[in-house]
Structure 1
Amino acid sequence: MIIDTHLHLIDRTALTYPWLSTVPALDRDYLYETYRQEALRCGIAASLHMEVDVAAEEIEAETQHVGQLAALPESLVVGAISACRPEDESFPAMLERQRENPLVKGFRRVLHVMPDALSESAVFRDNIKRIGGTGLTFDLCVLPRQLGHAAALADLAPDVTFILDHCGVPDIKAGDISLWRDELKDVARRPNVVCKMSGLVAYTDPDSWSVDTIRPYAETAILQFGWDRVVWGSDWPVCTLAGSLSTWVAATHALLAGSSDTERHALLAGNALKLWSLDLPIGT
C-alpha cells in the first residue's frame, strides 16, 4: 500500500494560481480524475492534497474544493494540507476555523520563494507555536541554503511536527550534494522533523536521470532520519517534469529494493497513517 502525502491538484475553473504563468510546463489543469486513474494503477490507496499556493484570498476556498473531491465515492483524497499565512495577524482565527474541519491535517507556507526574513518575524514565529497541541503538522518547503531556518523553526516549536518537503530540495541536477547533506544532517537531529521523500525526480536532469542519480539523496535522507521519520509523496504534477507518476513510483520501488518489508511499509504508508491519524477502510 502507498499513501501519497503530497498531491497537488490544479483546476483553473475553480481557483486562481498566480504563480502558474511563470511555469509554462505546469500552466494547465491537473484534475483529480486524471490523477486517480494512474494512482490506482500504481497501488496508491490514499492521498493527502497539498496546497498549491492559490491566491491568498482563496486559501479556504481551496480547502472547500478539496473537500468536495474527498466526498466523492471511493475518493483517494483523505486529507488536506492547507495553505496559511503565519506572518499575518489573522492567522489565529484561521487556525481555529481549520481545526474544526476534520479534512485538514496540517498547514504549509511556501518559504523557498519568499525572503528569508519572513520566517524570522515575531508574528510568524508566534503563530507557528500556536499549532502546537492541535495535532496539525507544518510542512517546510525550503532550499538547501535555508535548512538552517527550518532547524530554527523546529527548535522554536518543539511541540509542532514539521514535515520537510522533497528531502530539503537537493540540487540533484547539479550534483551538489555536500551543502545539502551537511545541513540535512543537522535538521535531522530535531526529533520533531519528518522527512518527506517526494518527487525527487523533479530536481534531476529530465533527459538523463536514472535511479542511481537519485539514490545517494534518498539513501542519505533515510539514513539521517531513520525509517520511522520518513514518508512518501508523489509531488504530482511537478514530478511529471521528469517523467510521470508511474515513473516516480517505479523509481521508488527500485530505490527500496534492498529494504525489508517493515521498512518499505513504514516509508510508503505506515508512518503517514500514524502521523496524520488516517482512518482508512479495512482492506485498503
Structure 2
Amino acid sequence: MQLIDTHQHLIYRDQLGYGWTNGIPALASGNFTRSDYGELTRGDDVIGTVFMETGVDDADYQKEARFVASLVGGDGLLAQVASCRPEIDEGFDAWLDECDRLSVAGFRRILHVVDDEMSRSETFRKNLRKIGRKDLAFDMCFLARQLPIAADLAKACPDQRFVLDHCGVPDIAGDAFSVWADAISEVARSPNVSVKLSGVTAYCTPGTANVETLRRWIDHIVQVFTPARIVWGGDWPVVNLGSGLPAWIEITKELLADLSADEQAAIGTGNARRIYRLS
C-alpha cells in the first residue's frame, strides 16, 4: 500500500519559533527535518508528502510558508498546507494571492486553541469561501467536543473542500466512543468533508496504541466517510507522543488490510491527489 503523507510537520528552530512545544519533552528541543523523516520512512512505501503548517508562533506563520516553499520539489515534498487567519480581513486577500506562488495546496487554522465562536463569525466564513473559490482545501483541526461546530462550518461553506484532521481527535484513552461516533457521523453527512486518518495513536493510553485498540474507531471512520473520503497522514513528529511514525505506518496497513486494492489506493494516494490537487 503506497502512501502520500498529507500531514508532515517539520521543525527548524533556527528559522522559526515553536512555543507550543515547550513542556513537551519529546518535541521541545532539536530539529525535525526532511532528512530525519526520510530516514524513518525509507522502505515504508511513502511516495510523497504534503507539509502541514506546524503551529509556529503567530508572528512567524507567513515566514514558515515562505521557507517551506523553498523546500517543495525536493525529497518528495509535493506541496504545503499553509497557515492563515480567516478571522481577520486585513491582509487576508494579499496572503491568499502571495500563496499562489508558494506551492500551497490548502490552508489551515488550528481551531481547538481559540475561542469556539471564531469559526462561527461571518468574517471567518466569508474568507473561507474565498479559499474555496481558489479551489484549495481547508484543514479543520477541532477537538471531539467541537465536532458540532465542524459540522455547522461545513454546512455554511458548501463549496469549500474540508479535511477534518486526526479523525476529530477522539478520546480513545477515555473510551469516549459513543459521543464521538455520533458527532463524527454528523460531520460525515456533509459531502464536502473528508477525514484524515492521522494523529490517533497519541490519543491512546500510553503503551496501548495498537491495531486492537484502534480497530473500532477506524472501522467507524471507514463506515461513515467511506474510502472515497479518507486521506492518510503521519503527523510526524507529534506521532512520537504515540506509536512513532514507522509503527503508525504498519498499524495503518493492518487496519485497512481487508479493504479492496482500489479502496486502499484511494486512501493511500488517490484521495490526496484529488483533494489537494497534487500532480
Q: What amino acid does structure 1 have at the position aligned with 2:83? A: A
Q: Is 2:12 aligned against 1:16?
A: no
Is the Cα contact below 8 Å between 1:229 and 1:271 reproduced in 2? Answer: yes
Q: Is the 8 A contact 2:209 2:243 kept in 1?
A: no
Find the residue that maps to 1:70 and give its secondary structure.
Answer: coil
The equivalent of 2:37 in structure 1 is 35
Q: Could you tell me which amino acid in structure 2 is paired with residue 112 of structure 1? A: H
User: Where do residues 181-196 of structure 1 align in structure 2 (5 Å cutoff)?
Assistant: 181-196=181-196
Q: 1:123 deviation in Å?
A: 1.5
Instruction: Please tell me the residue identity of whatever aligns with 1:87.
Output: E
- Aligned partner of 1:27: which letter? A
How many Å separate the matches in 2 of 1:176 and 1:240?
23
Report the Cα distance in structure 2 between the residues aligned to 1:59 and 1:19, rounded to whole angstroms.
13
> What's the counterpart of residue 269 of structure 1?
269
Range with bigger deviation, 49-58 or 137-146: 49-58
Match of 2:63 among 52, 61, 64: 61
Quote how far apart the aligned CAs of 1:277 are. Answer: 2.1
SS at match of 1:214: helix
For 1:21 and 1:119, locate their aligned partners in 2 and report how far apart those are by CA, in whole Å: 27
Equivalent in the alignment of 2:175: 175
Sequence identity (%): 39
Q: Which runs of 5+ in 1 are unaligned?
A: 280-284
Q: Does the Cα contact within 8 Å between 2:82 and 2:108 map onto a contact in 1?
A: yes
Counterpart Cα distance in 2 of 1:164 and 1:214: 18
Shift, 1:181, TM fit: 0.3
Residue 142 (structure 1) aligned with residue 132 (structure 2): no
- One-letter code of the match for 2:126? D
Residue 7 in 1 paired to residue 8 in 2? yes
Distance in 2 between residues matched to 1:146 and 1:85, nearest whole Å: 19
Per-residue displacement from partner, 1:191-218 (whole Å, max 9, x unpaired)? 0000110121111112133211011111
Cα deviation per residue 1:152-185 (whole Å; 9 max; x = unaligned)?
1111111100000001000111111111100000
Match of 2:159 in 1: 159
Q: Is the 1:129–1:156 contact (alpha carbons within 8 Å) kept by the matching residues of 2?
A: no
Q: Classify the secondary structure of the residue corresponding to 1:106.
A: strand
In 2: Cα distance, 1:19 partner to 1:113 partner: 11
**Matching residue of 2:94:** 93
Structure 2 residue runs of 5 or longer lacking an equivalent are none
1:199–1:248 Cα contact (<8 Å) kept: no
What is the Cα deviation at residue 71 of structure 1?
A: 4.0
Give runs of ≥4 in structure 1 deviating > 6 Å.
Answer: none
- Normalising by structure 1, we get a TM-score of 0.94
Which amino acid counterpart does residue 151 of structure 1 have in structure 2?
A: A
The size of the alignment, in residue pairs, is 276
Equivalent residue, structure 2, for 1:241:
241
Compute the TM-score of the two structures, normalised by the length of structure 2: 0.95
**What's the secondary structure of 1:24's corresponding residue?**
coil
Return the offset for 1:243: 2.3
Q: Find out whether 1:45 has 2:38 as its counterpart.
A: no
